[in-house]
Structure 1
C-alpha cells in the first residue's frame, strides 16, 4: 500500500471498529470524508438489512469449508437468495469472493447522490409518462417494460423509482403527473367506518358457505362478484361486476336511482349479453339493493350468493376493482353525470391494464382466451 506500519495498524483498528478507533466528532472535512469511507468499508453505517464486513468474512470462511448457499444463509439468518446474489455481484474478475473487495464494491454502488433515472428527457421517461396517463400502476409499467423492450437494458425501471419520481422532490422527474397518476390521492390509510347491521333479503337467500368449491378456487370461468359504488350523499350509484377468473369488469348504468328494482333490471340486462357458459353465479353483499335478487336468478338464469355481514374480503376481486374505479369516479362526486358510453369507456381502460395476478396479462386478453377455448 506504500504506507507505514503504524498507518496500517490504525486503518485496521478503524475498519474493525476497535476501541479508540474514532475520535470525537467535529474534525476537519477531510477527516470526516475519510471516516465516512472507513465506515462504508466496515459496514458500520449501514442499515441491518445490508450485509456487514463481518458477515462477508463469514461467507468467505464457510464457502472455503464447502458449505452450501442455504447452509450459509441459515448460519447468518439471511435468505439464501441474499447470499447467492452477494456472491454473484461482488466476486472479483477471477470468480473469487474476497470479503474486503466485496465490501468495497458494495460501498461504491451505494455512493450518493445518484442522478435519478427519470430526470431529463429520455425514451424511458416518455414511455413511463405515457403509461401513467393511462392510469397504469408503477408495478404494471415496470413489468411491461421487460416484455416490450427485451433487448434494451436502458429501458428498465423498478416500481420504487417511479414512486420516488412521483412523490419525492429530491428525486423529481414526474412532478407534473402526480395528480393524474395517483389512484387514491391519500398518503395514509383511511379509518374504517362502523359495520352495517345485516339485512334480511328474504328466505330465498343462498349464503356464500353454500357456494360450490369450483367457484372458490376460480378454476371455472363465468362466476361474478358485484357491488355498488356510491356518489355524493348516496344519491347516485354505479353497479360493478367483476369476473373472478379473468378480473374482467362490466359497469351497469343506473338511471335515476339505485333501488332494488333498478339494480335488478340493470344487472339482468348486462348479464343477459353474456353467452350462457359465462353465467355461472353472482356473489354480492347483503345490501338492500339486492332485495330483488330472485329476479336476477330467474330472468338472467344466474344464481346469487350472499356474503356474510361485514366480510368484504369474500368479494376481494370486486373490492379491489372498486378501488381502481375511484380513480375515474372519485368519492363525493355526482355519478349520475356519467352516461352508459362513459362507463363503457372506463371499463375498456380497466380491462386493458396488465394485472400482476394474471402474470401481467390484461383482463380483456384473459376473457378473449376464455371465450375462444369454450
Structure 2
C-alpha cells in the first residue's frame, strides 16, 4: 500500500487494493512520514529518511523502514527484495522480522518499533554496581591509595580466570568522577583516593622551575653521570629531592631507586645543607655496594654539601640541568604519590616519623605497571636476594 501511495496513488485507492480501511491507510502513511494533505493524490517519503540506500553503515532501522518492511511482507516479498528497497542487508530484515513479530505471528510496524526502543533502553547493571564483590575489592584497594590502573591490574593477577572480577581503570575513574547513585563517591573521598586530589578531570600544567645554575654543581653535571644510569637495566642509581612543608623549614627527604622505584623517606625539622647530607648518609647506610652507585638531585641549595655525602657513602652525585625536573622524573612522580598522604600545606613538624614510615611502606607495596605489576618492595627484595649482601635490610 505504501509503495502505491509513494508512486502517486491516493490513500483511498491504495487502501482498497490492500484490503484495509481508509483510516488504517492514513495511519500507516502518517507513521511512515508520508505527506497526505487534503486534495492531494499520493504522498512522498520525507527527505531525512529515504527508503533508498543508507547514508551511513551505522544507521539503524526507523519506524518508516519498519512500515515499508510490513508493506513488503503483505505483498509477499522476501527479505532480499525488501532489503534492496530500503537499503539494508537481507540479514538485517530477517532479524527485524523475527524479533518484531507479535504473539499471533504478524509483523506490525508500530509494535516492532516500540519493542525495538524497549530493547535499546533496557537497563543494565554496571560493572561496579553497589553490593557486588568486584566493587568491594575495588573500594578496598582504592582505600589503600592505589591508582585505578594498579587496582585493575592487581585484580586480573589475583583473580585469574574470573571474568566477573575484571574492570578497566577507565571504568574506575568514571565511577569516581561521576556523581549520583552507584558512584564510588558514596563510599570514598575522591580527594583522598586520587593522587591529584581532583574531583573532575582537567588538563595538567607543570609550572616552570625558576631556579638557575648554582656554583656547587660544577664538576657534577648530569652529562658526567655514567651512561649506565640513563637506562634502568643496572640497579643502584637513585634520584632524590625534598618535599618542603608549609612552614618552609620542615620537610621530607625522599630517595627513589630508578630500576625498582623503591622509596626511602625521612622527616627533618629543617633542611640546611649539613643536616641534609648527614641524613642522606644515614638513609643509605644499609645498602650493599651494588645498590649504592649514583644519586641525581636538582640544583637546590640543600645539596651544597654533597661532597660530604659522597665521601661518607661512596655515591657519585650528579645534578640536573636548570628547570628540567623530568631528568629525575622517577622521584618527581613518587613525590606526587606522597602528596596523597601529605597534601600541599602539610606542616611536617606536626607529622610523626611513624606516619612517614607507614606512607613509605604503602607506596613500596603498591603494584606498578612498569614493574610488570610487581611492587617496588618485591623488586628490591629480588635485588637484595641476588646480591651477596642480601641479608642487609633497608
When normalised by structure 1's length, the TM-score is: 0.71
Q: For residues 142-190 of structure 1, give each alpha carbon's deviation from its aligned partner in whole angstroms, at most 9, with x where no partner exists.
A: 1111111112111111111111111112563311313331222134346
Cα separation, partners in 2 of 1:211 and 1:343, compared to 1, 3 Å: same
Q: Does 1:149 align with 2:159?
A: yes
Cα separation, partners in 2 of 1:8 and 1:115, compared to 1, 3 Å: farther
Cα separation, partners in 2 of 1:322 and 1:125, compared to 1, 3 Å: same
Q: For residues 193-243 of structure 1, give each alpha carbon's deviation from its aligned partner in whole angstroms, at most 9, with x where no partner exists.
A: 453232424265411111111110111101100001111142321110000
Summarize the alignment of residues 354-369 of structure 1 with structure 2, pairs less than 5 Å apart. 354-369=367-382
Q: Does 1:43 align with 2:58?
A: yes
Query: Partner residue of 2:137?
Result: 127
Contact 2:209 2:324 in 1 (8 A): no
Cα separation, partners in 2 of 1:210 and 1:195, compared to 1, 3 Å: same
Residue 279 of structure 1 and its aligned partner are, at CA, apart by 0.4
Distance in 2 (alpha carbons) for counterparts of 1:368 and 1:352:
12
Contact 1:282 1:303 in 2 (8 A): yes
Residue 247 of structure 1 and its aligned partner are, at CA, apart by 0.3
Query: Partner residue of 1:313?
Result: 326
Distance in 2 (alpha carbons) for counterparts of 1:166 and 1:315:
30
2:149 to 132, 139, 144: 139
Summarize the alignment of residues 1-374 of structure 1 with structure 2, pairs less than 5 Å apart. 20-22=47-49, 42-44=57-59, 114-170=124-180, 172-175=182-185, 176-179=187-190, 180-186=192-198, 187=200, 188-189=202-203, 191-202=205-216, 205-254=219-268, 256-374=269-387
Distance in 2 (alpha carbons) for counterparts of 1:220 and 1:109:
58
Distance in 2 (alpha carbons) for counterparts of 1:348 and 1:300:
24
Contact 2:217 2:319 in 1 (8 A): no
Unaligned runs of 5+ in 2: 8-28, 30-44, 61-88, 97-116, 388-394
Cα separation, partners in 2 of 1:219 and 1:170, compared to 1, 3 Å: same
Contact 1:199 1:287 in 2 (8 A): no
Cα separation, partners in 2 of 1:241 and 1:40, compared to 1, 3 Å: farther
Cα separation, partners in 2 of 1:146 and 1:131, compared to 1, 3 Å: same
Cα separation, partners in 2 of 1:147 and 1:192, compared to 1, 3 Å: closer
Residue 341 of structure 1 and its aligned partner are, at CA, apart by 2.2
Distance in 1 (alpha carbons) for counterparts of 2:5 and 2:180:
39
Distance in 1 (alpha carbons) for counterparts of 2:280 and 2:329:
19
Cα separation, partners in 2 of 1:336 and 1:116, compared to 1, 3 Å: same
Residue 116 of structure 1 and its aligned partner are, at CA, apart by 2.0
Distance in 2 (alpha carbons) for counterparts of 1:222 and 1:339:
29
Q: For residues 109-133 of structure 1, give each alpha carbon's deviation from its aligned partner in whole angstroms, at most 9, with x where no partner exists.
A: 9867532221221111111110011
Distance in 2 (alpha carbons) for counterparts of 1:178 and 1:109:
36
When normalised by structure 2's length, the TM-score is: 0.68
Root-mean-square deviation (CA), in Å? 3.5
Cα separation, partners in 2 of 1:139 and 1:190, compared to 1, 3 Å: closer
